[in-house]
Structure 1
Amino acid sequence: MGGVVLEEGNRENIEKSFDTLKKKLKVQSDLKEIKFKNICGGGSNFLKCISNRKLHDFIDWLLKNDIYVHFKMLDHLYYAIVDIIDSLDVSPLLENDLKTSLYQIVYNNTDNFQKGFNLLKSLLHKSYKKNGAFRNMSRNKELNDKFDKMMGF
Protein backbone atom coordinates (compact mmCIF):
# COMPACT_ATOMS: atom_id res chain seq x y z
CA MET A 1 0.00 0.00 0.00
CA GLY A 2 1.43 3.38 -0.84
CA GLY A 3 1.10 6.68 -2.57
CA VAL A 4 2.85 9.94 -3.35
CA VAL A 5 3.10 13.29 -1.64
CA LEU A 6 3.58 16.54 -3.55
CA GLU A 7 4.96 19.84 -2.40
CA GLU A 8 2.28 22.52 -2.74
CA GLY A 9 4.23 24.76 -5.13
CA ASN A 10 5.13 21.88 -7.42
CA ARG A 11 1.61 20.62 -8.14
CA GLU A 12 0.92 22.50 -11.39
CA ASN A 13 4.19 21.37 -13.02
CA ILE A 14 3.53 17.79 -12.00
CA GLU A 15 -0.02 17.81 -13.38
CA LYS A 16 1.35 18.97 -16.74
CA SER A 17 4.06 16.31 -16.81
CA PHE A 18 1.55 13.65 -15.72
CA ASP A 19 -0.06 13.74 -19.19
CA THR A 20 3.35 13.15 -20.76
CA LEU A 21 3.95 10.25 -18.37
CA LYS A 22 0.61 8.63 -19.28
CA LYS A 23 1.56 8.80 -22.97
CA LYS A 24 4.97 7.30 -22.28
CA LEU A 25 3.42 4.49 -20.24
CA LYS A 26 0.77 3.95 -22.94
CA VAL A 27 -2.13 4.09 -20.50
CA GLN A 28 -5.53 5.73 -20.86
CA SER A 29 -5.26 9.49 -21.05
CA ASP A 30 -8.23 9.99 -18.68
CA LEU A 31 -6.62 8.10 -15.75
CA LYS A 32 -6.55 10.17 -12.57
CA GLU A 33 -3.83 8.02 -10.99
CA ILE A 34 -1.35 5.33 -11.93
CA LYS A 35 -1.94 1.98 -10.23
CA PHE A 36 0.38 -1.00 -9.96
CA LYS A 37 -1.70 -2.87 -12.53
CA ASN A 38 -1.06 -0.05 -15.03
CA ILE A 39 2.68 -0.56 -14.72
CA CYS A 40 3.03 -4.29 -14.05
CA GLY A 41 -0.16 -5.70 -15.45
CA GLY A 42 1.15 -9.24 -15.70
CA GLY A 43 0.62 -9.93 -12.01
CA SER A 44 3.03 -9.75 -9.14
CA ASN A 45 6.09 -11.48 -10.59
CA PHE A 46 8.69 -9.36 -8.84
CA LEU A 47 11.64 -10.08 -11.14
CA LYS A 48 9.56 -9.46 -14.24
CA CYS A 49 8.15 -6.24 -12.77
CA ILE A 50 11.47 -4.68 -11.75
CA SER A 51 12.82 -5.15 -15.26
CA ASN A 52 9.70 -3.60 -16.80
CA ARG A 53 10.41 -0.45 -18.81
CA LYS A 54 7.20 1.17 -17.53
CA LEU A 55 8.36 0.85 -13.93
CA HIS A 56 11.69 2.48 -14.78
CA ASP A 57 9.91 5.31 -16.61
CA PHE A 58 7.57 5.82 -13.66
CA ILE A 59 10.42 5.94 -11.12
CA ASP A 60 12.39 8.33 -13.35
CA TRP A 61 9.31 10.58 -13.51
CA LEU A 62 8.98 10.53 -9.69
CA LEU A 63 12.63 11.47 -9.27
CA LYS A 64 12.63 14.22 -11.91
CA ASN A 65 9.56 15.81 -10.35
CA ASP A 66 10.76 15.63 -6.71
CA ILE A 67 7.78 13.51 -5.69
CA TYR A 68 7.90 11.82 -2.29
CA VAL A 69 6.74 8.23 -1.98
CA HIS A 70 5.13 6.75 1.12
CA PHE A 71 4.28 3.10 1.61
CA LYS A 72 3.51 0.44 4.16
CA MET A 73 5.16 -2.94 4.02
CA LEU A 74 4.36 -6.06 5.99
CA ASP A 75 7.19 -8.45 6.73
CA HIS A 76 5.68 -11.87 6.08
CA LEU A 77 8.77 -13.62 7.46
CA TYR A 78 8.32 -11.91 10.83
CA TYR A 79 4.63 -12.82 11.05
CA ALA A 80 5.34 -16.43 10.04
CA ILE A 81 7.86 -16.68 12.88
CA VAL A 82 5.41 -15.02 15.29
CA ASP A 83 2.79 -17.65 14.33
CA ILE A 84 5.29 -20.46 14.97
CA ILE A 85 6.31 -19.12 18.38
CA ASP A 86 2.68 -18.39 19.32
CA SER A 87 1.82 -22.04 18.59
CA LEU A 88 4.44 -23.26 21.10
CA ASP A 89 4.06 -23.49 24.84
CA VAL A 90 6.56 -20.74 25.66
CA SER A 91 6.75 -18.67 28.80
CA PRO A 92 5.25 -15.20 28.14
CA LEU A 93 8.44 -13.75 29.66
CA LEU A 94 10.55 -15.32 26.89
CA GLU A 95 8.08 -15.06 24.02
CA ASN A 96 9.10 -11.64 22.63
CA ASP A 97 12.83 -12.33 22.97
CA LEU A 98 12.41 -15.68 21.23
CA LYS A 99 10.45 -14.11 18.35
CA THR A 100 13.06 -11.39 17.90
CA SER A 101 16.03 -13.77 18.13
CA LEU A 102 14.58 -16.34 15.73
CA TYR A 103 13.64 -13.61 13.28
CA GLN A 104 17.16 -12.15 13.36
CA ILE A 105 18.74 -15.59 12.88
CA VAL A 106 16.54 -16.42 9.89
CA TYR A 107 16.72 -12.92 8.38
CA ASN A 108 20.50 -12.69 8.66
CA ASN A 109 20.98 -16.22 7.27
CA THR A 110 18.24 -16.36 4.66
CA ASP A 111 20.25 -18.38 2.12
CA ASN A 112 21.23 -21.03 4.67
CA PHE A 113 17.73 -21.10 6.10
CA GLN A 114 16.30 -21.64 2.61
CA LYS A 115 18.78 -24.47 1.97
CA GLY A 116 17.82 -26.06 5.28
CA PHE A 117 14.13 -25.68 4.55
CA ASN A 118 14.57 -27.24 1.09
CA LEU A 119 16.52 -30.13 2.63
CA LEU A 120 13.80 -30.68 5.23
CA LYS A 121 11.13 -30.57 2.53
CA SER A 122 13.11 -33.10 0.46
CA LEU A 123 13.50 -35.46 3.42
CA LEU A 124 9.83 -35.14 4.29
CA HIS A 125 8.93 -35.76 0.65
CA LYS A 126 10.98 -39.00 0.56
CA SER A 127 9.45 -40.24 3.81
CA TYR A 128 5.99 -39.19 2.71
CA LYS A 129 6.35 -40.91 -0.64
CA LYS A 130 7.90 -44.09 0.84
CA ASN A 131 5.53 -44.85 3.70
CA GLY A 132 2.89 -42.15 3.86
CA ALA A 133 4.46 -40.51 6.90
CA PHE A 134 2.59 -37.35 7.90
CA ARG A 135 -0.33 -38.30 5.65
CA ASN A 136 -3.58 -37.27 7.31
CA MET A 137 -1.66 -35.83 10.25
CA SER A 138 -4.50 -33.40 10.83
CA ARG A 139 -8.22 -33.92 11.16
CA ASN A 140 -8.63 -30.84 8.99
CA LYS A 141 -9.10 -32.05 5.38
CA GLU A 142 -8.19 -28.63 3.93
CA LEU A 143 -4.90 -28.65 5.84
CA ASN A 144 -4.14 -32.21 4.68
CA ASP A 145 -4.88 -31.24 1.07
CA LYS A 146 -2.53 -28.25 1.33
CA PHE A 147 0.20 -30.47 2.74
CA ASP A 148 -0.35 -33.00 -0.08
CA LYS A 149 -0.06 -30.20 -2.64
CA MET A 150 3.11 -28.82 -1.03
CA MET A 151 4.64 -32.30 -1.09
CA GLY A 152 3.74 -32.73 -4.76
CA PHE A 153 0.88 -35.22 -4.47
Structure 2
Amino acid sequence: MDINNNRDADIRFHNLTAVDRVYTFFYDETNNVRKLHLTPDGLNVDAPGCFVLGGIAHAGQDREIDISALRARLRIQASTKEIKLEHIGKGDFPSLLNSAKMKGILEWIGEQGLHVHFQVVDLIYWSIVDIVDSILAEVREAPLMAIGAELKDDLYRVLRSNLPATVVLLRHYNYPNVGRDRTAEFVATLLEVVEGTHGLLHDFNYQMLRGVLQMALRFESLVFLDGEKPNVLIEDFSTVYIKRICLFKHARHVLDAEPRVRDQVERHQITDNGKPFVNYEFVDSVDCPGVQISDVVAGLLGKAFTFLNRNSMGNLHAAKQSLSIRQQGCLQLLVDLLDRSIAENVAFANFVVSHEDRRRAAYLLDL
Protein backbone atom coordinates (compact mmCIF):
# COMPACT_ATOMS: atom_id res chain seq x y z
CA MET A 1 0.00 0.00 0.00
CA ASP A 2 1.52 3.29 -1.10
CA ILE A 3 1.36 5.86 1.69
CA ASN A 4 0.83 8.76 -0.72
CA ASN A 5 -2.19 7.18 -2.40
CA ASN A 6 -3.72 6.61 1.02
CA ARG A 7 -3.32 10.20 2.23
CA ASP A 8 -3.67 12.34 -0.91
CA ALA A 9 -7.43 11.91 -1.31
CA ASP A 10 -8.09 13.02 2.29
CA ILE A 11 -5.77 15.99 1.91
CA ARG A 12 -7.58 17.17 -1.23
CA PHE A 13 -11.11 16.45 -0.01
CA HIS A 14 -10.67 18.18 3.36
CA ASN A 15 -8.23 20.83 2.11
CA LEU A 16 -5.68 19.90 4.78
CA THR A 17 -2.62 22.15 4.83
CA ALA A 18 -0.65 21.15 7.92
CA VAL A 19 -0.33 17.38 7.75
CA ASP A 20 3.31 17.50 6.63
CA ARG A 21 4.41 19.04 9.93
CA VAL A 22 6.61 16.94 12.20
CA TYR A 23 4.82 15.71 15.33
CA THR A 24 5.06 12.86 17.79
CA PHE A 25 1.75 11.13 18.43
CA PHE A 26 1.07 8.83 21.36
CA TYR A 27 -1.94 6.53 21.13
CA ASP A 28 -4.32 4.35 23.01
CA GLU A 29 -7.81 3.15 22.19
CA THR A 30 -11.12 2.51 23.86
CA ASN A 31 -14.27 0.55 23.01
CA ASN A 32 -12.41 -1.72 20.60
CA VAL A 33 -14.88 -4.59 20.26
CA ARG A 34 -12.30 -6.36 18.04
CA LYS A 35 -15.00 -7.43 15.57
CA LEU A 36 -18.63 -6.43 15.19
CA HIS A 37 -20.83 -9.04 13.61
CA LEU A 38 -24.42 -10.16 13.40
CA THR A 39 -25.48 -13.28 15.28
CA PRO A 40 -28.77 -15.22 15.39
CA ASP A 41 -29.49 -13.35 18.65
CA GLY A 42 -28.49 -9.85 17.52
CA LEU A 43 -25.06 -8.27 17.73
CA ASN A 44 -22.06 -10.00 19.29
CA VAL A 45 -21.63 -6.88 21.46
CA ASP A 46 -24.54 -5.37 23.36
CA ALA A 47 -24.90 -1.61 22.83
CA PRO A 48 -21.44 -0.96 21.35
CA GLY A 49 -19.97 2.41 22.30
CA CYS A 50 -18.01 4.79 20.11
CA PHE A 51 -14.52 3.58 19.25
CA VAL A 52 -11.84 6.20 19.89
CA LEU A 53 -8.20 6.04 18.88
CA GLY A 54 -6.38 9.00 20.35
CA GLY A 55 -4.12 10.49 22.93
CA ILE A 56 -1.58 13.27 23.20
CA ALA A 57 0.85 14.81 20.70
CA HIS A 58 3.62 17.38 20.58
CA ALA A 59 5.57 19.15 17.87
CA GLY A 60 8.88 17.61 16.83
CA GLN A 61 10.28 14.18 17.57
CA ASP A 62 12.59 14.64 20.57
CA ARG A 63 10.94 15.54 23.84
CA GLU A 64 11.00 13.81 27.21
CA ILE A 65 7.66 13.44 28.93
CA ASP A 66 8.24 13.24 32.68
CA ILE A 67 5.18 12.29 34.71
CA SER A 68 6.84 11.86 38.10
CA ALA A 69 5.43 15.19 39.34
CA LEU A 70 2.03 14.32 37.89
CA ARG A 71 1.99 10.98 39.73
CA ALA A 72 2.70 12.81 42.98
CA ARG A 73 0.04 15.40 42.20
CA LEU A 74 -2.54 12.67 41.55
CA ARG A 75 -1.33 10.61 44.52
CA ILE A 76 -0.74 7.54 42.37
CA GLN A 77 0.83 4.87 44.57
CA ALA A 78 4.39 3.83 43.79
CA SER A 79 3.21 0.22 43.44
CA THR A 80 1.00 1.25 40.50
CA LYS A 81 3.24 0.68 37.48
CA GLU A 82 1.34 2.89 35.05
CA ILE A 83 -1.41 5.48 34.95
CA LYS A 84 -4.65 4.28 33.37
CA LEU A 85 -8.16 5.68 33.19
CA GLU A 86 -9.31 3.34 35.96
CA HIS A 87 -6.92 5.12 38.34
CA ILE A 88 -8.38 8.52 37.44
CA GLY A 89 -12.12 7.90 37.54
CA LYS A 90 -14.94 5.50 36.81
CA GLY A 91 -18.44 5.64 35.39
CA ASP A 92 -19.97 7.59 32.51
CA PHE A 93 -18.81 10.92 31.11
CA PRO A 94 -20.44 13.17 33.75
CA SER A 95 -19.01 10.91 36.47
CA LEU A 96 -15.50 11.29 35.06
CA LEU A 97 -15.93 15.07 35.00
CA ASN A 98 -16.53 14.89 38.75
CA SER A 99 -13.08 13.37 39.35
CA ALA A 100 -10.50 15.68 40.95
CA LYS A 101 -7.80 13.48 39.39
CA MET A 102 -9.28 14.01 35.93
CA LYS A 103 -9.17 17.75 36.52
CA GLY A 104 -5.55 17.41 37.57
CA ILE A 105 -4.50 15.43 34.51
CA LEU A 106 -6.26 17.83 32.10
CA GLU A 107 -4.58 20.76 33.80
CA TRP A 108 -1.20 19.01 33.49
CA ILE A 109 -1.67 18.35 29.75
CA GLY A 110 -2.38 22.04 29.24
CA GLU A 111 0.54 23.16 31.41
CA GLN A 112 2.90 20.94 29.42
CA GLY A 113 1.76 22.51 26.14
CA LEU A 114 0.69 19.10 24.83
CA HIS A 115 -2.09 18.62 22.30
CA VAL A 116 -4.84 16.02 22.21
CA HIS A 117 -5.83 14.14 19.06
CA PHE A 118 -8.49 11.58 18.27
CA GLN A 119 -10.38 9.60 15.70
CA VAL A 120 -13.92 8.68 16.77
CA VAL A 121 -16.02 6.03 15.03
CA ASP A 122 -19.70 5.32 15.66
CA LEU A 123 -19.74 1.59 14.95
CA ILE A 124 -23.35 1.44 13.78
CA TYR A 125 -23.00 4.47 11.54
CA TRP A 126 -19.78 3.09 10.03
CA SER A 127 -21.50 -0.23 9.41
CA ILE A 128 -24.37 1.12 7.33
CA VAL A 129 -22.93 4.01 5.32
CA ASP A 130 -21.99 1.58 2.54
CA ILE A 131 -25.67 1.39 1.62
CA VAL A 132 -25.79 5.03 0.54
CA ASP A 133 -22.25 4.95 -0.86
CA SER A 134 -23.22 2.00 -3.07
CA ILE A 135 -26.23 3.85 -4.44
CA LEU A 136 -24.31 7.06 -5.10
CA ALA A 137 -21.52 5.11 -6.81
CA GLU A 138 -24.10 3.79 -9.26
CA VAL A 139 -26.03 7.03 -9.79
CA ARG A 140 -23.01 9.37 -10.08
CA GLU A 141 -25.18 12.51 -10.16
CA ALA A 142 -23.53 15.62 -8.75
CA PRO A 143 -26.63 16.97 -6.91
CA LEU A 144 -27.06 13.68 -5.07
CA MET A 145 -23.35 13.38 -4.34
CA ALA A 146 -23.53 16.83 -2.77
CA ILE A 147 -26.11 15.65 -0.23
CA GLY A 148 -24.53 12.26 0.37
CA ALA A 149 -23.72 13.02 3.99
CA GLU A 150 -27.32 14.09 4.67
CA LEU A 151 -28.66 10.91 3.06
CA LYS A 152 -26.36 8.80 5.26
CA ASP A 153 -27.51 10.74 8.33
CA ASP A 154 -31.16 10.23 7.52
CA LEU A 155 -30.85 6.51 6.82
CA TYR A 156 -28.81 6.13 10.01
CA ARG A 157 -31.47 7.95 12.02
CA VAL A 158 -34.17 5.65 10.67
CA LEU A 159 -32.24 2.42 11.17
CA ARG A 160 -30.87 3.44 14.59
CA SER A 161 -34.36 4.33 15.86
CA ASN A 162 -35.12 0.60 16.24
CA LEU A 163 -31.75 -1.07 16.38
CA PRO A 164 -33.00 -4.57 17.30
CA ALA A 165 -35.29 -4.58 14.24
CA THR A 166 -32.48 -3.25 12.07
CA VAL A 167 -30.15 -6.02 13.24
CA VAL A 168 -32.77 -8.63 12.33
CA LEU A 169 -33.18 -7.02 8.89
CA LEU A 170 -29.45 -6.95 8.20
CA ARG A 171 -29.02 -10.53 9.40
CA HIS A 172 -31.83 -11.68 7.09
CA TYR A 173 -29.87 -10.37 4.09
CA ASN A 174 -26.44 -11.58 5.29
CA TYR A 175 -25.36 -7.92 5.34
CA PRO A 176 -22.96 -6.67 4.07
CA ASN A 177 -23.00 -9.56 1.59
CA VAL A 178 -26.46 -8.82 0.19
CA GLY A 179 -25.49 -10.09 -3.26
CA ARG A 180 -26.94 -9.49 -6.69
CA ASP A 181 -29.90 -11.85 -6.38
CA ARG A 182 -31.35 -10.08 -3.33
CA THR A 183 -30.48 -6.46 -4.05
CA ALA A 184 -33.96 -5.40 -5.16
CA GLU A 185 -35.60 -7.19 -2.24
CA PHE A 186 -33.17 -5.59 0.23
CA VAL A 187 -33.75 -2.09 -1.12
CA ALA A 188 -37.52 -2.64 -1.11
CA THR A 189 -37.35 -3.64 2.55
CA LEU A 190 -35.33 -0.53 3.39
CA LEU A 191 -37.89 1.55 1.53
CA GLU A 192 -40.69 0.04 3.62
CA VAL A 193 -38.82 0.87 6.82
CA VAL A 194 -38.23 4.48 5.72
CA GLU A 195 -41.88 4.92 4.70
CA GLY A 196 -42.98 3.47 8.04
CA THR A 197 -40.92 5.99 10.00
CA HIS A 198 -41.82 9.09 8.00
CA GLY A 199 -42.19 11.19 11.14
CA LEU A 200 -38.51 10.87 12.09
CA LEU A 201 -37.37 13.05 9.19
CA HIS A 202 -38.18 16.48 7.87
CA ASP A 203 -40.38 16.15 4.81
CA PHE A 204 -37.70 17.23 2.33
CA ASN A 205 -35.19 14.78 3.82
CA TYR A 206 -37.76 12.02 3.77
CA GLN A 207 -38.64 12.64 0.13
CA MET A 208 -34.98 12.70 -0.93
CA LEU A 209 -34.10 9.48 0.91
CA ARG A 210 -37.22 7.77 -0.36
CA GLY A 211 -36.48 8.90 -3.91
CA VAL A 212 -32.90 7.63 -3.79
CA LEU A 213 -34.05 4.22 -2.55
CA GLN A 214 -36.67 4.09 -5.29
CA MET A 215 -33.91 4.71 -7.84
CA ALA A 216 -31.92 1.84 -6.34
CA LEU A 217 -34.79 -0.62 -6.85
CA ARG A 218 -33.70 -1.04 -10.47
CA PHE A 219 -30.02 -1.67 -9.73
CA GLU A 220 -28.63 -5.11 -10.42
CA SER A 221 -26.36 -4.90 -7.38
CA LEU A 222 -24.97 -2.57 -4.72
CA VAL A 223 -21.24 -2.39 -5.32
CA PHE A 224 -20.11 -2.34 -1.68
CA LEU A 225 -22.62 -4.98 -0.59
CA ASP A 226 -21.57 -7.80 -2.89
CA GLY A 227 -18.76 -10.29 -2.33
CA GLU A 228 -18.25 -9.30 1.33
CA LYS A 229 -18.05 -11.52 4.41
CA PRO A 230 -21.62 -12.33 5.45
CA ASN A 231 -22.76 -10.81 8.76
CA VAL A 232 -19.39 -9.18 9.53
CA LEU A 233 -20.04 -5.47 10.04
CA ILE A 234 -16.50 -4.57 11.16
CA GLU A 235 -13.58 -6.96 10.68
CA ASP A 236 -11.09 -4.92 12.74
CA PHE A 237 -9.95 -1.34 13.30
CA SER A 238 -6.58 -1.48 11.57
CA THR A 239 -7.72 0.92 8.85
CA VAL A 240 -8.33 3.60 11.51
CA TYR A 241 -4.71 3.28 12.68
CA ILE A 242 -3.40 3.21 9.11
CA LYS A 243 -5.37 6.33 8.19
CA ARG A 244 -3.61 8.39 10.86
CA ILE A 245 -0.18 6.86 10.21
CA CYS A 246 -0.44 7.67 6.51
CA LEU A 247 -2.02 11.11 6.85
CA PHE A 248 0.76 12.35 9.13
CA LYS A 249 3.50 10.83 7.00
CA HIS A 250 6.33 12.87 8.52
CA ALA A 251 5.30 12.29 12.13
CA ARG A 252 6.42 9.68 14.64
CA HIS A 253 3.61 7.43 15.85
CA VAL A 254 3.98 5.64 19.19
CA LEU A 255 1.44 2.92 19.91
CA ASP A 256 0.74 0.58 22.79
CA ALA A 257 2.24 -2.84 22.08
CA GLU A 258 -1.01 -4.80 22.12
CA PRO A 259 -0.21 -7.95 20.08
CA ARG A 260 -3.53 -8.13 18.23
CA VAL A 261 -3.39 -4.49 17.12
CA ARG A 262 0.26 -4.82 16.20
CA ASP A 263 -0.43 -7.82 13.95
CA GLN A 264 -3.35 -6.04 12.27
CA VAL A 265 -1.34 -2.89 11.57
CA GLU A 266 1.83 -4.62 10.41
CA ARG A 267 0.02 -6.73 7.83
CA HIS A 268 -0.57 -3.47 5.95
CA GLN A 269 2.81 -3.24 4.25
CA ILE A 270 3.27 0.50 3.72
CA THR A 271 5.53 1.74 0.95
CA ASP A 272 6.63 5.20 -0.22
CA ASN A 273 7.12 5.24 -3.99
CA GLY A 274 7.79 1.52 -3.93
CA LYS A 275 10.16 1.48 -0.95
CA PRO A 276 9.22 0.06 2.49
CA PHE A 277 8.16 2.85 4.84
CA VAL A 278 7.71 2.73 8.61
CA ASN A 279 7.00 5.79 10.76
CA TYR A 280 5.47 4.03 13.75
CA GLU A 281 6.61 1.91 16.67
CA PHE A 282 4.97 -0.25 19.32
CA VAL A 283 6.09 0.21 22.92
CA ASP A 284 5.30 -1.17 26.36
CA SER A 285 3.04 1.40 28.00
CA VAL A 286 4.73 0.79 31.37
CA ASP A 287 7.86 2.36 29.89
CA CYS A 288 6.12 5.12 27.94
CA PRO A 289 4.45 7.99 29.85
CA GLY A 290 2.98 9.37 26.61
CA VAL A 291 0.98 6.19 26.02
CA GLN A 292 -0.16 6.15 29.66
CA ILE A 293 -1.60 9.66 29.39
CA SER A 294 -3.16 8.66 26.07
CA ASP A 295 -5.03 5.86 27.83
CA VAL A 296 -6.77 8.48 29.96
CA VAL A 297 -7.43 10.85 27.04
CA ALA A 298 -8.82 8.14 24.74
CA GLY A 299 -10.93 6.72 27.55
CA LEU A 300 -12.38 10.10 28.47
CA LEU A 301 -13.21 10.93 24.85
CA GLY A 302 -14.71 7.48 24.32
CA LYS A 303 -17.03 8.10 27.27
CA ALA A 304 -17.83 11.58 25.94
CA PHE A 305 -18.80 10.51 22.42
CA THR A 306 -20.76 7.50 23.64
CA PHE A 307 -22.65 9.82 26.01
CA LEU A 308 -23.37 12.20 23.13
CA ASN A 309 -24.50 9.35 20.88
CA ARG A 310 -26.95 7.94 23.40
CA ASN A 311 -28.63 11.16 24.52
CA SER A 312 -30.93 13.52 22.67
CA MET A 313 -30.16 17.21 22.48
CA GLY A 314 -32.81 17.78 25.12
CA ASN A 315 -31.19 15.28 27.47
CA LEU A 316 -27.77 16.82 26.84
CA HIS A 317 -29.11 20.27 27.69
CA ALA A 318 -30.56 18.95 30.95
CA ALA A 319 -27.31 17.13 31.77
CA LYS A 320 -25.23 20.23 31.07
CA GLN A 321 -27.46 22.38 33.23
CA SER A 322 -27.14 19.93 36.12
CA LEU A 323 -23.32 19.82 36.17
CA SER A 324 -21.70 20.78 39.45
CA ILE A 325 -19.07 23.51 39.70
CA ARG A 326 -16.34 20.87 39.68
CA GLN A 327 -17.83 19.14 36.62
CA GLN A 328 -18.20 22.44 34.79
CA GLY A 329 -14.56 23.29 35.48
CA CYS A 330 -13.35 19.89 34.27
CA LEU A 331 -15.49 20.13 31.13
CA GLN A 332 -14.09 23.58 30.38
CA LEU A 333 -10.53 22.26 30.72
CA LEU A 334 -11.34 19.56 28.15
CA VAL A 335 -13.00 22.06 25.80
CA ASP A 336 -10.00 24.38 26.05
CA LEU A 337 -7.61 21.52 25.25
CA LEU A 338 -9.68 20.47 22.25
CA ASP A 339 -9.96 24.04 20.98
CA ARG A 340 -6.22 24.67 21.29
CA SER A 341 -5.34 21.35 19.68
CA ILE A 342 -7.63 21.80 16.68
CA ALA A 343 -6.37 25.36 16.28
CA GLU A 344 -2.88 23.85 16.01
CA ASN A 345 -4.00 21.34 13.40
CA VAL A 346 -7.56 20.68 12.29
CA ALA A 347 -6.56 17.13 11.30
CA PHE A 348 -6.00 16.28 14.98
CA ALA A 349 -9.75 15.55 15.07
CA ASN A 350 -11.37 13.00 12.78
CA PHE A 351 -15.03 11.97 12.91
CA VAL A 352 -16.86 8.95 11.49
CA VAL A 353 -20.18 9.85 13.07
CA SER A 354 -23.47 11.34 11.93
CA HIS A 355 -23.98 15.07 11.50
CA GLU A 356 -26.46 14.93 14.36
CA ASP A 357 -23.73 13.65 16.67
CA ARG A 358 -21.43 16.39 15.36
CA ARG A 359 -24.10 18.91 16.37
CA ARG A 360 -24.29 17.35 19.82
CA ALA A 361 -20.50 17.48 20.08
CA ALA A 362 -20.60 21.16 19.11
CA TYR A 363 -23.09 21.81 21.88
CA LEU A 364 -21.27 19.99 24.66
CA LEU A 365 -17.61 20.03 23.57
CA ASP A 366 -17.53 23.05 21.23
CA LEU A 367 -16.32 20.79 18.39
Give the structure-2-normalised TM-score. Answer: 0.24
In our comparison, the structure showing a higher alpha carbon Rg is 1
Structure scoring higher RCO (CA < 8 A, sep ≥ 6) equals: 2
Give the structure-1-normalised TM-score. Answer: 0.47
In proportion to residue count, which structure has more strand? 2
